[in-house]
Amino acid sequence: MNLPLNIDFTGKTVVVTGAGGVLCGDMARAFAQAGAKVALLDLNEEAVKKVSEELTAEGFIAKGYKANVLEPEMLEEVHQAVLKDFGPCDILVNGAGGNNPRATTDNEYQHEAKEGQKTFFDLDASGVDFVFKLNFQGTLIPTQIFAKDMVEKKSGSILNISSMNAYTPLTKIPAYSGAKAAISNFTQWLATHFAGTGIRCNAIAPGFLVSNQNRALLFNEDGTPTARSEKILKGTPMNRFVDSEELLGGVFFLCDDKAASAITGVVLPIDAGFAAYSGV
- The reply on whether position 70 binds ligand NAD by CB under 6 A is yes
- Which residues lie closer than 8 Å to 187 by C-beta, 6 or more apart? 160, 162, 201, 202, 203, 265, 266, 267
Reply yes or no on whether 277 is catalytic.
no
Using left for φ > 0, alpha for ψ between -120 and 50, and beta otherwise, residue 85 falls in: alpha
Q: Which of 3, 45, 68, 170 binds ligand NAD (CB under 6 A)?
A: 68
- The reply on whether position 235 binds ligand NAD by CB under 6 A is no
Q: Which of 165, 31, 151 is nearest to 97 (CA)?
A: 165
> What minimum distance in Å lies between the beta carbon of 63 and ligand NAD?
16
- The reply on whether position 44 binds ligand NAD by CB under 6 A is yes
What number of CA atoms fall less than 13 Å from residue 191's CA on the CB side?
A: 19
- The reply on whether position 119 binds ligand NAD by CB under 6 A is no
CA gap 186, 110 in Å, rounded: 31
Q: Which of 20, 178, 235, 269 binds ligand NAD (CB under 6 A)?
A: 20
CA gap 137, 266 in Å, rounded: 20
257, 155 Cβ separation under 8 angstroms? yes
Instruction: Pick the closer one to ligand NAD by CB: 44 or 107.
Output: 44
51, 20 Cβ separation under 8 angstroms? yes
- The reply on whether position 270 binds ligand NAD by CB under 6 A is no
- The reply on whether position 163 binds ligand NAD by CB under 6 A is yes
Write each residue from 178 to 207 as x if it is in contact with ligand NAD (CB under 6 A), else as -, in one continuous string: ----------------------------x-
Which residues ranging from 79 to 98 are in contact with ligand NAD (CB under 6 A)? 95-98
Residues with catalytic roles: 176
- Which residues contact ligand NAD (rule: CB under 6 A)? 17-18, 20-24, 42-44, 47, 67-70, 95-98, 134, 138, 161, 163, 206, 209, 211
